[in-house]
Amino acid sequence: MTLQFGASAADITPPSGLWMSGYAFRNECATGVHDPLMASVLVATNGARCVAIISLDLISLPQDTVDRMRSEVSKSLGTTPEAIMVHCTHTHGAPYTGIFRAMGERSPEYDDFLCMQVCTISSNAAASVKPATMFYSQGPAQIGINRRCYDGNGVTLGQNPIGPMNPLVQTFDIKELAGSRIAVGYSHACHPTTMGGDNLEYTGDWMGAAARAIQNRISTSPMQPVPVLSLQGCCGDVNPVRRGDWDAVEANGRIVADAALLALDYAGCSDDETLDFEETCVDLPLLRELNYSEALSLAGKWRAILAEDREAGAPAGKLFYDQCHLDWALDHLALAQTGNDDAVATFSIQKITIGEVTFLGFPAELFISYQLDLQSRYKAPLFVLSYTNGCLNYLPAAADYPFGGYEVRDACRYYARPMFTAECEHIVRSTAYGLLGIDASTILPLPSANHGQIPPA
Over residues 27-75, the pLDDT tens digits come to 999 999 999 999 999 999 999 999 999 999 999 999 999 999 999 999 9
Domain boundary among 301, 322, 338: 338
Do 302 and 186 belong to one domain? no
Number of domains in the chain: 2
φ/ψ region of 426 (left if φ > 0, alpha if ψ in -120 to 50, else beta) reads alpha
Residue 100 φ/ψ, nearest 5 degrees: -125, 160
Q: Which domain holds residue 104?
A: 4-274+346-385
For 193-256, the DSSP string reads -SS-TT--EE--HHHHHHHHHHHHHH-S-TTSPPPEEEEE-S-TTEEESS-SSHHHHHHHHHHH
Q: Is the pLDDT of residue 278 over 70?
A: yes
- Tell me if 184 is assigned to some domain: yes
- Tell me if 430 is assigned to some domain: no
In this predicted model, what pLDDT tens digit does every residue of 139-166 receive, in sequence order?
999 999 999 999 988 999 999 999 999 9
User: How many Cα neighbours within 13 Å face the side chain of 151?
Assistant: 9
Do 326 and 215 belong to one domain? no
Structure confidence at residue 222 (pLDDT): 81
User: How many Cα neighbours within 13 Å face the side chain of 163?
Assistant: 26
Closest residue by Cα to residue 130 from 1, 313, 279: 1
Structure confidence at residue 434 (pLDDT): 97
Amino acid at 306: L
- Tell me if 280 is assigned to some domain: no
Do 216 and 305 belong to one domain? no
- Tell me if 67 is assigned to some domain: yes
Do 138 and 182 belong to one domain? yes
Long-range contacts at 298-301 (CB < 8 A, ≥ 24 apart): 298/325, 298/329, 298/332, 299/326, 299/329, 299/330, 299/333, 301/329
Radius of gyration of the chain (CA): 22
Closest residue by Cα to residue 234 from 177, 189, 169: 189
- Answer with the residue of higher pLDDT: 402 or 289: 402
Do 231 and 249 belong to one domain? yes
Do 87 and 111 belong to one domain? yes
Structure confidence at residue 221 (pLDDT): 83
Structure confidence at residue 457 (pLDDT): 67
- Tell me if 126 is assigned to some domain: yes
Q: Are strands 50-56 and 365-366 parallel, antiparallel or unpaired?
A: unpaired
- Tell me if 180 is assigned to some domain: yes
Domain boundary among 324, 356, 385: 385
Do 364 and 334 belong to one domain? no
Do 15 and 78 belong to one domain? yes
pTM of the model: 0.97
In this predicted model, what pLDDT tens digit does every residue of 177-225 receive, in sequence order?
888 999 999 999 999 999 999 999 999 999 999 999 999 999 988 889 9
Residue 194 burial (10 A CB sphere; 0-12, 13-18, 19+):
buried
What integer is the mean pLDDT of 421-442? 96
Amino acid at 61: L
Do 328 and 351 belong to one domain? no
Residue pair 200/30 in contact by the 8 Å Cβ criterion: yes
Do 325 and 370 belong to one domain? no
In this predicted model, what pLDDT tens digit does every residue of 63-114 receive, in sequence order?
999 999 999 999 999 999 999 999 999 999 999 999 999 999 999 999 999 9
Do 146 and 245 belong to one domain? yes
Do 108 and 13 belong to one domain? yes
- Tell me if 395 is assigned to some domain: no
Q: Is the pLDDT of residue 176 over 70?
A: yes
Residue 235 burial (10 A CB sphere; 0-12, 13-18, 19+):
buried
- Tell me if 398 is assigned to some domain: no
